[in-house]
Amino acid sequence: MAEEAPPLRVVISDPKGGRKIVKVKVKGVEDEQLEYTDEMRREKEKGRVRKERSKLPLAKLNSKLAKELELDDKVGVITIRFKTEDEKINETFKVIIDDNVPDGEIHVNMEHLGELVGDLEKEGEAFRAKAWQIAIPQKLVERLAGLEIGDVFEGTIIGLPGVRLKIRGGSDATGFPMHPGVPGSAKRKILLAGPPGFKPREKGERRRKTVRGRMIPDPRGERRKTVLAQLNVVIHYE
C-alpha cells in the first residue's frame, strides 16, 4: 500500500488585497466563536514551519471596519501587522462580522494573541490580506487532480465557498516547478529562457532545466518525493 502523501500547501493570492491599511486595537478575548483549534496552529522547529495550518484563525470586527478595509462577504480574510521591539509580525485571520465589537477594534482569541505578541491588547495595522497559505489533505488534492495551470475551480474545495480560484503554478517536494508549456504532470528537461524554473543572469541566457508538467497529479500515483508540495492560486474575479 502506497504511503499517504503529506498535505498540500495552497498559497492563495487576492489581487484586491493590501489596498487600504487601517490602524486598529487588537484585543484578546474569551469567545466560543473565536476558538483557537489545532487546525489553526502552525508548528515551528528551529525557526522553520514544520506543520502548516489547515484553517485560518478567526477574528471579529464590526461592519463599519469591514467596509473600511474593503472586505466583501465572500473572501473576508485580513492580515494584521504587529510591531514589537524585535520584529514585525504578520498574522492572517478569517473574519466574523459582529456589530457588537467597538469601532476601531478587532477581537481575536486570547491565547492566540498571547502567543503572537505576549499581551492581551496590542496596536496593529489591518488590511485585506494579499496572500495566505493553508494545507489541505490528500483526499482534497485528489479532487484537484487533472486540473492544469490556467484552470479555474470552486474555492469550496479548500474552504472558500462562493470564491473561484485560478491555478498559477506550483512545485513538488524536491522543488521542481510546474511549467505551463509542458503537458501532463511528469518531469521533463527543457530549454528555458526565463521563469518558472530558471532566472537568467544575463540577457538572452538559456539553460536546460528540469520542470514538472502543468497538470496537478493524482497523489495516489506519486511517490512521497515527487508529490506536489505547493500549489499557487489567485482569486478569480469575473
Inform me whether the pLDDT recorded for 43 exceeds 90. no
The pLDDT value given to residue 33? 97
Residues 6+ apart with CB under 8 A from 47: none
* 154 and 178, same domain (yes or no): yes
Cell numbers describing residue 212 = 514538472
Q: Is 12 inside a domain boundary?
A: no
* 142 and 100, same domain (yes or no): no
**Phi/psi of residue 142, each to 5°?**
-60, -30
* 93 and 117, same domain (yes or no): yes
The pLDDT value given to residue 6? 79
* 42 and 57, same domain (yes or no): yes
* 118 and 156, same domain (yes or no): no
Q: Coil, helix or strand for 212?
A: strand
The pLDDT value given to residue 147? 97
Write out the residue range of the structural domain in which residue 76 sits.
18-129
Alpha-carbon gap, residue 136 to 54, rounded angstroms: 6
* 163 and 112, same domain (yes or no): no
pLDDT tens-digit series, residues 161-192: 999 999 999 999 889 999 999 999 988 998 88
Q: Is 4 inside a domain boundary?
A: no
Q: Where does a domain end: 84, 109, 129?
A: 129
User: What does pLDDT average to over the chain?
Assistant: 91
- CATH code for the domain in which residue 105 is found: 2.40.40.20
Q: Is 7 inside a domain boundary?
A: no
* 148 and 220, same domain (yes or no): yes
* 93 and 158, same domain (yes or no): no
The pLDDT value given to residue 1? 39
CB 106 within 8 Å of CB 59: yes
Q: Where does a domain end: 129, 144, 176?
A: 129
68 or 2: which carries more pLDDT confidence? 68
* 59 and 113, same domain (yes or no): yes
Q: Is 9 inside a domain boundary?
A: no
* 94 and 173, same domain (yes or no): no
Q: Is 75 inside a domain boundary?
A: yes
Q: Is 199 inside a domain boundary?
A: yes
Alpha-carbon gap, residue 140 to 142, rounded angstroms: 5
* 33 and 123, same domain (yes or no): yes
The conformation of residue 111, written as its DSSP 8-state character, comes to H
Question: How many residues appear in the chain?
Answer: 238
How would you class 44 by CB atoms within 10 Å of its CB: exposed for 0-12, middle for 13-18, buried for 19 or more? exposed
CB 139 within 8 Å of CB 163: no
pLDDT tens-digit series, residues 66-95: 999 999 888 999 999 999 888 899 999 999
What b-and-e string marks burial along 145-165, b requiring 16 or more CB atoms within 10 Å of the CB?
Answer: beeebeeebebeebebeebbb
pLDDT tens-digit series, residues 115-156: 999 999 999 999 999 999 999 998 999 999 999 999 999 999
* 22 and 125, same domain (yes or no): yes
CA dist 230 to 6, 82, 167, 197, Å? 11, 27, 11, 15
**Phi/psi of residue 70, each to 5°?**
60, 35
Count of structural domains within the chain: 2
Count the Cβ atoms, other than its own, within 10 Å of residue 128: 23
The pLDDT value given to residue 219? 86
Q: Where does a domain end: 79, 99, 129?
A: 129
